[in-house]
Chain A
Amino acid sequence: EIVLTQSPATLSLSPGERGTLSCGASQSVGSSYVAWYQQKPGLAPRLLIYDAASRATGIPDRFSGSGSGANFTLTISRLEPEDFAVYYCQHYGSSPFTFGPGTKVDVK
């Protein structure tokens, strides 16, 4: 089973700042099968990025993903007020398709 770690656990930023979130895997994730999700309180998660770097439908271009192998990054270029949330990475290279523990992006 691939175990994902995310850092930092909490990222405190101001609107307009750049956010960089990291996701590390215990072994290489085949073909960059990594997704990023955003979850706000009381709501279901929302897909942001799939295949490590492809934006899902309707996702603003301030969200970008990168990485390969066992290290992946989600970058939010300029934080908008609606971007303060918890972000999870997930791999889907081999079952079970585990999630990382999440990074909470909150207001500094």
Chain B
Amino acid sequence: EVQLVQSGTDVKKPGESLKISCKGSGYSFTTYWIGWVRQMPGKGLEWMGIIYPGDSDTRYSPSFQGQVTISADKSISTAYLQWRSLKASDTAMYYCARLGIPGITVAAFDYWGQGSLVTVSS
């Protein structure tokens, strides 16, 4: 069974750093792109970027380029989303999701993690 299990809730202060995780299981982690999606409170879905764990090839949305870092550790089948300096506007639910066809980006997100809630408040 394909599963993406995300790290839990984080409460941080502005300026702090954070790295959240998404562990894949039940499939070949290195051969499917993994993406991150932001959902701010009461709002819609925003595509942040994707990574290919096999070689760490990464694509970012221009809206998120330079604001976050997407990475992966294929040895432990885990993808990450990282901030160096959080802002209150980073408060949101963050989902990881798998692109549904191995090796290519032209695919929908077929499996989703349960979400990681990040709250940034002084």
Q: Which residues of A contact B (CB under 8 A)?
A: 1, 31, 33, 35, 37, 39, 44-47, 50-51, 56, 88, 90, 92-93, 95-102
Residues of B within 8 A of A92 (CB): 99, 105-108
Known: A47-B100, A96-B62. A56 touches B45 (CB 8 A): no
User: Given contacts A47-B100, A50-B100, A88-B45, is CB(A95)–CB(B95) below 8 Å?
Assistant: no
Q: Is the CB of B95 within 8 A of A44?
A: yes
Interface residues on B, range: 20 to 34
Nearest residue (CB) in B for A95 is: B59
> Known contacts A47-B100, A92-B106: does B44 contact A102 (CB below 8 Å)?
yes
| Cβ B61 vs Cβ A56 within 8 A | no
Given contacts A33-B106, A95-B59, A101-B44, 14 further A-B contacts (CB under 8 A): A1-B62, A37-B45, A37-B109, A47-B110, A50-B100, A50-B108, A92-B107, A95-B50, A96-B49, A96-B60, A96-B63, A97-B50, A100-B44, A102-B44
Q: When chains A and B are docked, how far (Å) is the Cα of A33 from the Cα of B115?
A: 25
Interface residues of B (CB under 8 A from A): 35, 37, 44-47, 49-50, 59-63, 95, 97, 99-100, 105-110, 112-115
Q: Which residue of B lies closest to A54 (CB)?
A: B108
Nearest A residue to B93 via CB reads A44
Q: Could you pull out 18 A-B pairs where Cβ atoms are within 8 angstroms?
A: A39-B45, A44-B95, A44-B113, A44-B114, A45-B45, A45-B109, A47-B108, A50-B100, A50-B110, A56-B110, A92-B105, A95-B50, A95-B61, A96-B60, A96-B61, A97-B105, A99-B37, A99-B44
- Name which residue of chain B comes closest to A35, CB basis: B108
Question: Which chain B residue shows the least CB distance to A45?
Answer: B112
